[in-house]
Chains A and B, each alone.
Chain A
């Protein structure tokens, strides 16, 4: 996927400012930046929900604006930051909507095929025993795993996630990111936690006021200078004892340290 000179503005603010980058097949790319910097807007342009004012997004060298909704959903799946599932839908019923892209409106998917497909992704995210539970009755982590499972039913080439670990406790955050990392597909996710982004992402994009300030491997992007430049926070960056990725430690008043 290629993002070329993307610009998008509201009536009062320029949200995306001449953004260009390329996502390589198989990469896990993290989008970083403070709140309101344009991460969600960028993702929305990448999944065709918003049209950029100028610039374009290419998927396999085709402008995504020329790809039909159904075909696009077969190539790019999305897990939103907030999915308001109401009307007492069960996990299985919600997952069944992930198969819409595989049928034309006059066709119906064979019940047996549907069951096998849904059981496969439920097993993949470890929720086989929750298939008949109502979505709202699941825990935050289970809901997020289910939404990832629904995205996987689309059999996408690329998975886009808008803050997939938002509102989850540390245990679920690690669990969700491990799950995504092991999927073996191209992933682009906006992430707030710098240490989690460093641990799981192959590449990072650092945004400020809609502009791409820095991109590269976690070691190239997560430097004390760039973090202070973007977030206004002093940090110490060293190597994580269990891996090669950088570990960020935030400095508080009077030089106290806290590893996060």
Chain B
């Protein structure tokens, strides 16, 4: 039933997680060799240790432009995949994804307000972050009984409500803003800098570390609330805590990169198919695979058309759709 030993999967993913961002840095409008990339990273570390030495221009392109982008893709993929995996466990719904609780709709509304009027005094990422946090806060308050059904229904209701408000603001707003909002909502890593990477990077690392410690109670939740309760799990605090952590991760990522769908849905499915969801390595494998996949999707989005970059969100949606259609076909064949 299983294709991979969990340790074997980790042994494959770990080197991939190191090599993929390096390849992501090396390939672009002007290709740079991997040796040059590694050399630039080495020289930058030396420059940081010895303030007298100066960085050359080529190193600056690698370190200041391409590296934050590759790392942002890695962090974004890992964060969305981990969020999806956790939400699928706490809602016992294999179709749950990080945007289930109105996070995307809240972020879009924040971004639209930043672009069209109301909140122009704040930068777009901050408005998007605040929008998604407010959406999640409302969902959490509505679903404070901790029941899965209430949580999902509240998320769907808030999502539709915020989307309709966002559309209304756009309808009466500046037509140019609509273009800007569309570009933002399709997702891109082109705005990634060390500055924009800092907040989502720190949040994703800390949240993933905390979630890793709660893997066992999360696995117990997969057998239902009542069963988890009998194992000594405080179900309500665990579910709300995990919801807040995943909301923080997703909000910070949406604010920095826009709405990138399907990764949070697809990657946990792939890991589950490969090693199952209850292995102690599954969370790390999910994070690594999400990160690696996103780096390669970003690379594809940059290189598939000459001198033009496709939105990452469109690429992930296409990949995700093909993946799920393939899964469906395979299942139908299996039933025959």
A residues adjacent to B (C-beta < 8 A): 47-49, 69-74, 77-78, 80, 83-90, 93-94, 96-101, 103, 105-106, 108, 134, 150-151, 154
Contacts and interface: CB of A to CB of B under 8 A. Distances in A.
Nearest to B92: A86
A97 B230 CA distance: 10
Chain B residues touching A, majority SS: loop
Contact of B222 (A70, A89, A105): A89
Given A84-B224, A97-B216, A134-B1, A90 B232 contact: no
Contacts of A100: 216-217, 220, 231-233
B223 interface: yes
Given A73-B231, A78-B230, A83-B227, A99 B216 contact: yes
A89 B219 contact: yes
Contact of B278 (A78, A90, A101, A103): A90
A73 B230 CA distance: 6
Contact of A94 (B94, B232, B278): B278
B215 to A, nearest CB: 9
Contacts of B222: 85-87, 89
B167 to A, nearest CB: 36
Q: A interface, by DSSP: helix, strand, loop or mixed?
A: mixed
B219 A73 contact: no
Contacts of A85: 222-223
B223 A93 contact: no
Contact of A80 (B219, B227, B277): B227
A105 B214 contact: yes
Contact of B213 (A69, A71, A105): A105
Contact of B276 (A93, A103, A106): A93
A105 B217 CA distance: 9
A69 B234 contact: yes
B226 interface: yes
B54 interface: no
Interface in B79-138: 89, 92, 94
Contact of A49 (B217, B219, B226, B234): B226
Given A80-B230, A87-B94, A103-B216, 8 more contacts: A47-B229, A69-B229, A78-B230, A89-B222, A97-B228, A98-B231, A150-B231, A154-B232
A100 B278 CA distance: 14
13 contacts: A80-B230, A83-B224, A83-B227, A88-B277, A89-B222, A90-B276, A93-B278, A94-B223, A96-B219, A96-B278, A106-B213, A134-B1, A151-B230
Contacts of A105: 213-214, 217
B150 interface: no
Nearest to B238: A105
B272 interface: yes
A71 B222 CA distance: 22
